[in-house]
Amino acid sequence: MFLPDEKLEQPSLDPSSDGAMVINRLYLSDRTSQSKYLIDTGADVSVITLTTASKLLPPASLQLFSANGTVISTYGQQLVTLDLGLRRVFKWPFIIAAVSQPIIRADFLRHYGLLVDIRHGRLVDSLTKLQTQGTMQQGNNSAIKAVNGNQISSVAR
């Protein structure tokens, strides 16, 4: 049996949100666009925010839902090239959605061999062994789930 030397920290509960768990969130910045991406390994899809141009697109059939059940409108996909400061660029199809911040999900991380280090607030590239420092912020658990018609998409693997 393993007994840690230190007392384990319990997740804090935010009393203002009816007992919702407050967790640390990792954000990384794209050096090209200066956009701040939430690293959310529990989200079903990677999303980018609406731009002025994408607001002119008709809504897509794919519906997204926030953790509290709110419907999030989508407007198609866009291939995005990210520079996360790891000496290589990353191209990935993101869903354009009416969200407040762009989100990177686990399949992007797995595809490129990127490891999330929440303890130290960084992302580690398993290919180059380089790391990039992110910023940590507290927030509620708010994963995005996807539904297309009556079929639920597969959960991030």
Residue 122 exposure: Cα atoms within 13 Å on the Cβ side: 11
Evaluate if residue 155 carries a pLDDT over 60: no
Q: What is the pLDDT of residues 44-83, one digit of tens each?
A: 899 999 986 677 788 888 889 888 889 999 999 999 999 9
Min mean pLDDT across 17-26, 30-39, 135-144, 146-155 is at 146-155
Percent pLDDT > 70 in the chain is 73
Confirm if 146 and 72 have CB atoms less than 8 A apart: no
Task: Give residue 43's pLDDT.
Answer: 86
The whole-angstrom distance between residue 123's C-alpha and the CA centroid of its chain comes to 13
Residue 58 structure tokens: 């008709």
Residue reference for tokens 């280090």: 117
Find the mean pLDDT for residues 98-119: 94
Evaluate if residue 135 carries a pLDDT over 90: yes
Please name which of 138, 142, 46, 139 lies closest in space to residue 97, comparing C-alpha atoms. 46
Task: Give residue 83's pLDDT.
Answer: 98
Find the mean pLDDT for residues 84-96: 96
The strand pairing partners of 22, in sequence order, are: 12, 140
Task: Give residue 150's pLDDT.
Answer: 36
Task: Give residue 143's pLDDT.
Answer: 61
Quote the CA–CA distance of 149 and 61 in Å, as a whole number.
7
Min mean pLDDT across 24-28, 38-42, 141-145 is at 141-145
Please name which of 117, 153, 154, 157 lies closest in space to residue 136, comparing C-alpha atoms. 117
